[in-house]
Structure 1
Amino acid sequence: MDKLLPFTIKDLAKITNHRSGEIKFGEKMITIPNGEDPITFIKNAEAKYVLIGIPEDVGIQANSGRPGAASAWKTALKSIANIQHNRFCKGNQIIVLGEIDVEAEMIEAKNLDFKIMDHRLKLSKLVEKIDKEVSHIIFSIIKAGKTPIIIGGGQNNAYGNIKGAALAKGKPVNAINFDAHSDFRILEGRHSGNAFSYAYNEGFLKKYFVFGLHENHVSKNVLDLIKKTDERIRYNTYDSIKVRGERNFLEEIITAYEFIKTDSYGIEVDLDALPNIASSAMTLSGFSIEELRQFIAYFGKHKNATYLHICEGAPDLDGEKNNHLIGQLIAYLVTDFIKANP
């Protein structure tokens, strides 16, 4: 794992706010000891969850989106380190592996303009490089018998998550995606809007459910494609659940689970599905944070839940005084997932 930047015990100490009479996650989370092989250590550790960061927004830029999601990993990790370690959730359930080294791709992407076709192709090639690293690391974690919690980055990384999980399981996996968008767009070169269509086309994704699709943000072409593949790809819409009241939120969660439950599945969460959360595609209308937490708690408690991926949050696009709040939100979602299946 040449592209892994390990997170050390010293790194953890720097971001943990120690306080007398309290025990923080940062005092209990596990890091890879210096000189140890990361995968061998992970395999032999008692902790079930492995935290990995992908601090990039190359895939978002390749999709003509606003950069900023690269900052979510460090912000989230600081918030996670300062959660209280108690009987409700314990820090020693988590191994902090570190982050994927995407610095070279990020530097190259800075000099590229999506509006120029040749640059667009170069951005897609950079995403493909990141894909390879993501799929390799996710494969290694799952093969070691652990559950990855991935903090992005863009949702382009769903492709690497799905591919890595499928290779580790030896067969295609399913995915449930809490998202305002389908990310099932045409195969026009890799970016954050077609992770699932590429994974599906290449045989890594078996069944796919989009939860809370916004009717204003899905093209006729994508709807037609989903209709043709109804046995393997389904969705519900935010509008039908929360605006017109035609469907019930909790009943829809059960319906989605029944569709994907027979095989290992990844839980994908795009934070641009929440209103007023800084992201590349920020929205003013969407599900509440509490509903997302219920969603993660439900899908996380089942044995086939294979990974959690939280993406698209962009603290760098938030107000300077509040750019820590996305980190706090991600910390809630991470602990909801762990509490669901300790």
Structure 2
Amino acid sequence: MLKPLIPYTLKDINPLINYRKGETKFGEKVDLLLTHEQIEEQINSSLAKYVLIGIPEDAGVIANFGRPGARNAWQAVLKTLVNIQNNSYLKPKKLLILGHLDYQKELNALENFADDAELYRKNAKALVKKIDDDVTYLVQHIVKAGKKPIVVGGGHNNAYGILKGCAIGHGKPLNAINIDAHTDFRPSKSRHSGNGFSCAYKEGFLNKYFIFGIHENYTPAKVFDKLHKNPERVQYNTFEEIEIRQEKELTYQINTAMDFIKTDKFGIEIDCDAIKNIPSSAMTSTGFSIEQVRRLLHAFSSHKNASYLHICEAAPNSNHENEQLLTGKLITTLITDFLKK
């Protein structure tokens, strides 16, 4: 199995669980590895339908001129997730918490170039390519084992590796629905968090792509021109059309997007930049509410062809307890919404 993978057993998770008399926490019943050995075999034999992995990195965000901090989300999520209640609404045995991909050494080395913007981004782009390969390999194995990946990032650059891994695992390209303030469909000359979908599209791993809730102020004209070239494979709506000018009704747009992507297996992408007042790589004061995003996720994940969930770009300050708590609770809620389908 991958060298960067830090696998989790009960021994690794147990210190995070806040045990309380009379209650059973999610982390006590979730599926975990028995040992750190023969991981591929354990994934294959697990009865869990979903496999959760963390990718605490922000190399792609740095390479794309974004706000660092996405490396901090995973630990906040893990600590929250294992401490929610185990009750009749949740079935923790459906989820295998596999572990996380560890790039801390590489990220620390990257900071040596922080004073030189050009070298900083150049080295960040190189790290993104390595992460691409690792994510592809791990996701491919999860899919081939008949499981559905749930990935918590990290930057949106990881959409490329997830789509590639799923496409290889399923033997065909996937469709994707991306709830995002940005298209992440920028030119594919070098890798960063802003072109995961354009790279996957160009290389044949992404078939149909729908972007839900683009912010009109932050999408370049050239990117809009690119989106318009092939409406049979790429469609979108804007946040302003739905929520500000109310030219398009939300439920109708959900159905429109679903009709576009449901013809084949598809992934669900949630960029926390789309949610207002959430600490992220491109934090916004105007955007979808958490409840709206949950409604979108519920609608899309209810279809049988929903094949993975990717939540990314949350960037809580590691020294800010409230940001950590907010991020952990938000993403945990989205994960459990996906599990309830």
**TM-score above 0.5, yes or no:** yes
Match of 2:123 in 1: 122
CA contact under 8 A between 2:17 and 2:79: conserved in structure 1?
yes
Match of 2:199 in 1: 198
CA contact under 8 A between 1:179 and 1:213: conserved in structure 2?
yes
1:124-176: CA deviations, max 9, x gaps? 11100000000110111011000111000000000001000000011111110
**CA distance, structure 1, for counterparts of residue 269 and residue 11 of structure 2:** 31
Shift of 1:315: 1.6
Map 1:178-217 to 2 at 5 A: 178-217=179-218
Amino acid in the other structure paired with 1:207: K
1:142 aligns with 2:143: yes
Distance of aligned partners of 1:318 and 1:229 in 2 relative to their CA distance in 1, 3 Å threshold: farther
Match of 1:13 in 2: 14
Shift of 1:318: 7.9
SS in 2 for 1:30: coil
**CA distance, structure 1, for counterparts of residue 72 and residue 245 of structure 2:** 36
SS in 2 for 1:313: coil
Shift of 1:111: 2.0
CA contact under 8 A between 2:215 and 2:240: conserved in structure 1?
yes
1:249 aligns with 2:259: no
Map 1:80-99 to 2 at 5 A: 80-99=81-100
SS in 2 for 1:151: strand
Runs of 4+ in 1 over 3 A off after TM superposition: 113-119, 317-322
1:72-122: CA deviations, max 9, x gaps? 111001111011111101222111100012123212221234964344322
Amino acid in the other structure paired with 1:177: N
CA-based RMSD: 1.4
**CA distance, structure 2, for counterparts of residue 112 and residue 206 of structure 1:** 37
Match of 2:132 in 1: 131
**CA distance, structure 1, for counterparts of residue 279 and residue 322 of structure 2:** 13
**CA distance, structure 2, for counterparts of residue 338 and residue 159 of structure 1:** 23
Shift of 1:123: 1.7
Map 1:295-334 to 2 at 5 A: 295-316=296-317, 319-334=320-335
CA contact under 8 A between 1:114 and 1:120: conserved in structure 2?
no
Match of 2:265 in 1: 264
CA contact under 8 A between 1:6 and 1:32: conserved in structure 2?
yes
Map 1:156-195 to 2 at 5 A: 156-195=157-196
CA contact under 8 A between 1:57 and 1:67: conserved in structure 2?
yes
CA contact under 8 A between 2:48 and 2:94: conserved in structure 1?
yes
1:198-239: CA deviations, max 9, x gaps? 101111110100000000011000000111111111100000
Name stretches of at least 5 consecutive residues in structure 2 with no aligned partner: none
**CA distance, structure 2, for counterparts of residue 145 and residue 38 of structure 1:** 15
1:2-21: CA deviations, max 9, x gaps? 22110121121111111111
**CA distance, structure 2, for counterparts of residue 30 and residue 59 of structure 1:** 30
**CA distance, structure 2, for counterparts of residue 279 and residue 298 of structure 1:** 24
Map 1:28-67 to 2 at 5 A: 28-67=29-68
**CA distance, structure 1, for counterparts of residue 218 and residue 319 of structure 2:** 23
SS in 1 for 2:113: coil
Name stretches of at least 5 consecutive residues in structure 1 with no aligned partner: none
SS in 1 for 2:317: helix
**CA distance, structure 2, for counterparts of residue 310 and residue 287 of structure 1:** 15
**CA distance, structure 1, for counterparts of residue 213 and residue 264 of structure 2:** 22
SS in 2 for 1:324: helix
**CA distance, structure 1, for counterparts of residue 19 and residue 118 of structure 2:** 50
**CA distance, structure 1, for counterparts of residue 319 and residue 233 of structure 2:** 37
**CA distance, structure 1, for counterparts of residue 29 and residue 291 of structure 2:** 27
Shift of 1:35: 4.9
SS in 2 for 1:111: helix
**CA distance, structure 2, for counterparts of residue 145 and residue 49 of structure 1:** 9
Distance of aligned partners of 1:37 and 1:323 in 2 relative to their CA distance in 1, 3 Å threshold: same
Amino acid in the other structure paired with 2:101: I
CA contact under 8 A between 1:163 and 1:199: conserved in structure 2?
yes
**CA distance, structure 2, for counterparts of residue 335 and residue 28 of structure 1:** 14
Aligned-residue sequence identity (percent) comes to 50
Amino acid in the other structure paired with 1:333: L
